[in-house]
Amino acid sequence: MSNHEPMPTNHERDGSSPSEPERLDIPDLPEQPVEPSTIIREAFAEAEDSGGELPEWGARAIAQSLVDQQDEPTPALRDFAESGEGDLEAISREAMPIYNQAGCSPWVKRQIDYLLTFLLDRGRPAATAAPKDTGTSEIAEEHLSVQAAEGIYQHGDAFRAFLELKDVDEDDPNLLDNFREFYIGRFTTFDQLMSSLTDLDMWTREINAVAEELGIPGYVMLDMAALETHTLETWDIVTYNGAFYVFDK
């Protein structure tokens, strides 16, 4: 790290008092920091401490930050930031074009990943929702069937995610074979998941090439919300400990 002293701010140079940064108006935000980026970092820290689950106030702070950075109207993101109400499809339709912008930073992409993961978890039926890290998994696993315990021993969190599927019976004698047949893989982000399960990268290259030939680069893009809906309808996706585990239906 550099040993240089930090550059003085304009306020330090002219002796004026800095104005207080505007606070985000999000109810129930615990001890709300001033800077939106600080709020989001606090939310990420809480998510990591709780096994990957982003708190709602953090998801809403991310939505508000995305709204503030856009010149175009983003009503779904704004409504979610203000009320906590909204659905994955509508918010994805506004967030994914931001994600796919050439200049989108890794920091913003991480925020969008967390936001969409939060909405995916919230919209999933309780039987398949990602469990919270309560610290009692070892006690619970003492009561699992022999097949389920062996599956967890062999495959770890991937098998724990498999057991969260509503049509999986832990007493099924073919449980381990079914896991091997249906398990596709583990992904750290939803974007990585979609790139692997679909031809997203090829489609994007082809569309960009055609748009370039027509002289309209940046004006044609995939309907990412529709593609996400297709992905969710085609595969079973379980979030567990901050990762996505995917299975054939």
Residues 96 and 153 in one domain: no
When divided into structural domains, the chain yields a total of 2
Cα separation, 39 vs 62, in Å, equals 9
Asked, for residue 96, whether it belongs to a domain, the answer is yes
Asked, for residue 163, whether it belongs to a domain, the answer is yes
Identify the pLDDT of residue 205: 84
Identify the pLDDT of residue 5: 38
Asked, for residue 186, whether it belongs to a domain, the answer is no
Asked, for residue 55, whether it belongs to a domain, the answer is yes
Neighbour order of strands in the sheet with 243-248: 183-187, 243-248, 235-240
- Residue 71's domain spans which residues? 22-126
Asked, for residue 227, whether it belongs to a domain, the answer is no
Cα separation, 62 vs 113, in Å, equals 10
Asked, for residue 122, whether it belongs to a domain, the answer is yes
Asked, for residue 159, whether it belongs to a domain, the answer is yes
Residues 164 and 108 in one domain: no
Do the bridges between strand 243-248 and strand 183-187 make them parallel or antiparallel, or are there none, so unpaired? Answer: antiparallel
Identify the pLDDT of residue 30: 53
Residues 50 and 121 in one domain: yes
Mean pLDDT of successive 10-residue segments in the chain (249 residues)?
38 38 51 68 80 82 89 88 85 82 82 84 51 38 80 90 90 92 89 83 84 81 77 86 87
What 3-state DSSP class applies to 238?
A: strand
Asked, for residue 187, whether it belongs to a domain, the answer is no
Identify the pLDDT of residue 52: 64
Here the contacts of 161-168 (C-beta below 8 Å, separation 24 or greater) are 161/238, 161/239, 161/240, 161/245, 162/238, 162/245, 162/247, 164/127, 164/128, 164/129, 164/130, 164/131, 164/238, 164/240, 165/128, 165/236, 165/238, 165/247, 166/125, 166/127, 166/128
Residues 57 and 153 in one domain: no
User: Residue 243 forms beta bridges with which residues?
Assistant: 240
Residues 76 and 103 in one domain: yes
Residues 90 and 170 in one domain: no
Residues 83 and 145 in one domain: no
